[in-house]
Amino acid sequence: MERQRGRGRWLVLFIELALLAVIAGAFVWAAFTGNRQPAAAVSPSPTPALIIAPTVVPVTATDLEAQIAAVYREAGPSVVNIVSRSISYDFFFNPVPRQGSGSGFFYDTLGHIITNYHVIADADELQVTLADGRALPAQIVGVDPSNDLAVIKVDLPANEIRPLPIGDSTSVYVGQFVLAIGNPFGLERTLTFGIISALGRVIESPNQRFIGEVIQSDVAVNPGNSGGPLLDLTGRVIGVNSAILSPSGANAGISFAISARTVQRVVPVLIREGRYPHPSLGVRVIELTPQRAALFEQAGMRLPVTQGLLIADLIAGGPAEQAGLRGPDRLARVGNLNLPIGGDVIVAINGQVIATSQELLVYLETETQVGETVQVTVIRDGRELTLPVTLAELRF
């Protein structure tokens, strides 16, 4: 009897263990099959690697090196060395030869070469050295000091010219890899590499105006690189290397390039007309600041704004005068200053807020053309009004 009871207990224990094994197996199966459920049935874990991995294509150092080398092989033959020569005279009227050098690149198969204005300014003679070592004379086709751009031309068969494609500088971004090819210190077709550091910079032009839409990079650029191309990794020109910021005059990791958008706007006009017309409102202005506004208040001119451009003078017969904008009607003395009183204050153009002379010039240069009508918003007698103004060509 006791044996039967013992066997019964062992049988019950065996059945319980079997049931536990079945239950544990079910949990294990659920754990493995749970990952295969539809996304809607499971709350996804926010793992950045799982989100990013499908959209990232790994690039090895070897891949990048190969791409850079390929761009140099394709674009290098299109870059030229430019030597400018001129004659000046000393105090005793003795001739003093001068020589400078820079870079350029072929724009089309007609022999047109893009470079900087300051590379060829005041040149009596230009010589272009090609990638194969041939030296050719060049002629100036058109210049634009305000954008530091120039076009020169050499006589060469079309089948011997490889123009560089002009890219879209509006789609570039900070951190993007870029390359420069040029002739720093006369070292022909030197390649340097870096990234775009900033966009939309404004720099001074050779004629003391402002150039907008400038691309800043950390690519090594030195004297002689001016006029050479700034390229993306597809070999397209996104800028023309123009200037550096450096206490020593050599590369300090800050270089500036005229954007491809500016090139596309200016160069065809230089080839066609030899010059580029710059739009103007026909006004001379004073930049308002809180301190200056306080001075005008003392002179009896109440200003409801402390930022904007107070019209100090209207060019006779200019666009602003013809459109009905007002200049000053009297002068008032405050301390040692004679202040023009009564003029309109320009605060916006086409809805774009304008607070400084630099902003005005850059907006007109980059967003408008001669002959275009813009909407100028002004403050007059404490009220805001908007007047249409048709832009004319700036006369230097």
Structure tokens, 159:
């089948």
Which of 110, 131, 160 is the endpoint of a domain? Answer: 160
Examine residue 25 and state whether it is found in any structural domain, yes or no.
no
154 and 213 inside one domain: no
- Classify 391 as helix, strand or coil: coil
CATH number for the domain including 213?
2.40.10.10
Which of 160, 178, 200 is the endpoint of a domain? Answer: 160
Which of 118, 135, 160 is the endpoint of a domain? Answer: 160
Residue 180's H or E segment, with its range, is: strand 177-182
Q: What confidence score (pLDDT) does residue 68 get?
A: 95
The answer to whether 147 touches 276, Cβ cutoff 8 Å, is yes
Q: What confidence score (pLDDT) does residue 125 get?
A: 95
Q: For the segment 112-145, what is each residue's pLDDT rounded down to a tens digit?
A: 999 999 999 989 999 999 999 999 999 999 999 9
Examine residue 31 and state whether it is found in any structural domain, yes or no.
no
173 and 156 inside one domain: no
Domain that holds residue 313: 279-393
Examine residue 346 and state whether it is found in any structural domain, yes or no.
yes
Q: For the segment 302-331, what is each residue's pLDDT rounded down to a tens digit?
A: 888 999 999 999 999 999 999 999 999 999
- Is 112 labeled as catalytic in the residue annotation? no
Q: Which of 84, 101, 103, 118 is catalytic?
A: 118
Examine residue 12 and state whether it is found in any structural domain, yes or no.
no
Question: In this structure, is the dihedral angle defined by the CA atoms of residues 118, 86, 395 and 392, taken in order, positive or negative?
Answer: negative
Q: What confidence score (pLDDT) does residue 170 get?
A: 94
Q: What confidence score (pLDDT) does residue 44 get?
A: 41
Cβ neighbors of 375 (< 8 A, separation 6 or more) are 349, 350, 351, 386, 387, 388, 389
Our count of domains for the chain comes to 3
216 and 255 inside one domain: yes
288 and 346 inside one domain: yes
Q: Which of 144, 148, 218, 344 is catalytic?
A: 148
The answer to whether 216 touches 199, Cβ cutoff 8 Å, is yes
How far apart are the C-alpha atoms of 259 and 208, rounded to whole Å? Answer: 19
Q: Provide the 10 A C-beta neighbour count for residue 82.
A: 27
Examine residue 321 and state whether it is found in any structural domain, yes or no.
yes
- Classify 19 as helix, strand or coil: helix
Read off the pTM: 0.80
Examine residue 96 and state whether it is found in any structural domain, yes or no.
yes
In angstroms, the Cα distances linking 118 to 78, 82, 125, 138, 394 are 21, 12, 14, 16, 21
Examine residue 130 and state whether it is found in any structural domain, yes or no.
yes
CATH number for the domain including 362?
2.30.42.10
- Is 86 labeled as catalytic in the residue annotation? no
Residue 260's H or E segment, with its range, is: helix 260-273
Examine residue 15 and state whether it is found in any structural domain, yes or no.
no
Q: What confidence score (pLDDT) does residue 232 get?
A: 97
How far apart are the C-alpha atoms of 184 and 186, rounded to whole Å? Answer: 5
Choose among 176, 266, 308, 282: nearest CA to 230.
Answer: 176
Question: In this structure, is the dihedral angle defined by the CA atoms of residues 257, 263, 269 and 274, taken in order, positive or negative?
Answer: positive
> Within the chain, which residues score under 70 in pLDDT?
1-59, 396
Give phi and psi for 2, each to the nearest 5: -65, -35
- Is 118 labeled as catalytic in the residue annotation? yes
DSSP annotation string for 2-38: HHHHHHHHHHHHHHHHHHHHHHHHHHHHHHHHHTTS-
Q: Which of 226, 242, 255, 259 is catalytic?
A: 226
